[in-house]
A = this chain, B = another copy of it.
Amino acid sequence: MKNKVVTLGEIMLRLSIPNFKRFIQADSFDVTYGGGEANVAVTLCNYGLQGTFVTKIPDNSIGQAALNHLRKYGVDTQYIVRGGKRLGIYFLETGASLRASQIIYDRENSAIAEANIDDFDFEKIFDNTAWFHTSGITPALSDKANNLTEAALKTAKAKGITTSLDFNYRKRLWTKEKATEVLTKLCNYVDVCIGFEELAFTIDNTIPPLTEHTIEKYKPIFVAMKQRFGFTYIASTLRENNNASKNKLSAFAFDGENLFLTKKYDITMIDRIGSGDAFSGGFIYQLIIGKSLKEAAEFGVAAAALKHTIPGDFNHSTVNEVESLLKGGDDLGRLVR
């Protein structure tokens, strides 16, 4: 079994305000680093595979700190290119109860947004690789990053590597129209499609929002998406935002025939970020080790639910911990001692 998974994307400096203070009250920021594809790489390392993250970060101490943060969690950083102007930043105000969490992006002109295709040797990067994963955030960064993403997907596909793309639409980065156009292009190189809304609506813009109760109505859409792009699987988490402190999280997965809906978790939030990436990581991990689509989706959503109880962007849980949650039972909150 090949256990190397390559992910490509942006890693940002994450500055979050402790103790539920608002931006205008902040006296200090907690410092960590985050980004969707980086989180998938960390997740895969935690689950025993070799996550390899590809990006470009500036050749200064802030860039070094980001790289060290990845190394700390076992990510292979040998293909990270150093250079460019700056590391992207995002500021996080953690909400509570009736007050939503808020993000301010300050990520323009980051090293990866301004990277060139020839900064990277994808032939070498993809050597001996089982899977390549990226997300819709990367092409949204800039035209250069869009081209870079396409080049990576194309090369991976050409080398027979399984590819996955998490749509991850960010409305502050690009318009719905631009996103749909680019994702439609990229999906030609994608095997596993994580997320669905952007493409689904290009096919049938009358379908209702996806919920437990409407999921059957999506089936023909998924069939159409699969046919159009040749996806092996389509999967996604489904979130119910009760309020900033409480969410419900489940997922679906579709193999062209069967549409699975997972267990739903009630979560009291510690950190609102990174659960989608935990899903992707858990889902990919299970598929690589040969589990069924249903098992992969169940594992992925349990990992995602657990992620919300862990501060920071990254998903720090072990296979044992996810499996223990999957089994559930009365002991869910028992003290381990």
B18–A19 contact, CB under 8 A? yes
Q: Mark A200-237, 1 if CB is under 8 A from B, else 0.
A: 00000000000000000000000000000000000000
A311–B21 contact, CB under 8 A? yes
By size class, the interface of chain A is 35 or more
CB of A5 within 8 Å of the partner chain: no
* Known pairs A73-B68, A240-B330, A241-B333; A267 contacts B98 (CB<8 A): yes
CB of A316 within 8 Å of the partner chain: yes
* Known pairs A268-B96, A330-B240; A30 contacts B28 (CB<8 A): yes
Residues of B within 8 A of A15 (CB): 15, 29
B24–A61 contact, CB under 8 A? yes
Residues of B within 8 A of A308 (CB): 97-98
Partner of A316, one of B22, B27, B62: B22
A244–B333 contact, CB under 8 A? yes
Shortest Cβ distance from A240 into B: residue: B330
Residues of B within 8 A of A99 (CB): 306, 309-310, 317, 321
B246–A333 contact, CB under 8 A? yes
CB of A106 within 8 Å of the partner chain: yes
Alpha-carbon separation in the docked complex, A30 to B29 (Å): 7
Alpha-carbon separation in the docked complex, A333 to B248 (Å): 11
CB of A184 within 8 Å of the partner chain: no
Shortest Cβ distance from A246 into B: residue: B333
CB of A331 within 8 Å of the partner chain: yes
Alpha-carbon separation in the docked complex, A321 to B24 (Å): 15
The stretch from A83-91, A142-150, A189-197, A250-258 touching chain B is: A83-91
**Closest CB-CB distance, A39 to chain B, in whole Å?**
14
Alpha-carbon separation in the docked complex, A67 to B25 (Å): 12
Alpha-carbon separation in the docked complex, A270 to B98 (Å): 11
Binding site for B on A (CB under 8 A): 15, 18-31, 60-62, 64-65, 68-69, 71-74, 85-86, 89, 91, 93, 95-106, 108-109, 170, 172, 240-247, 265, 267-270, 272-273, 305-306, 308-312, 316-317, 321, 325, 330-337
Q: List 25 A-B contacts (CB under 8 A).
A: A20-B310, A21-B311, A22-B316, A23-B64, A23-B65, A25-B311, A26-B31, A28-B28, A61-B102, A71-B72, A71-B74, A72-B72, A95-B309, A97-B267, A98-B305, A98-B308, A98-B309, A98-B325, A99-B306, A100-B332, A102-B335, A108-B109, A240-B330, A241-B330, A243-B332
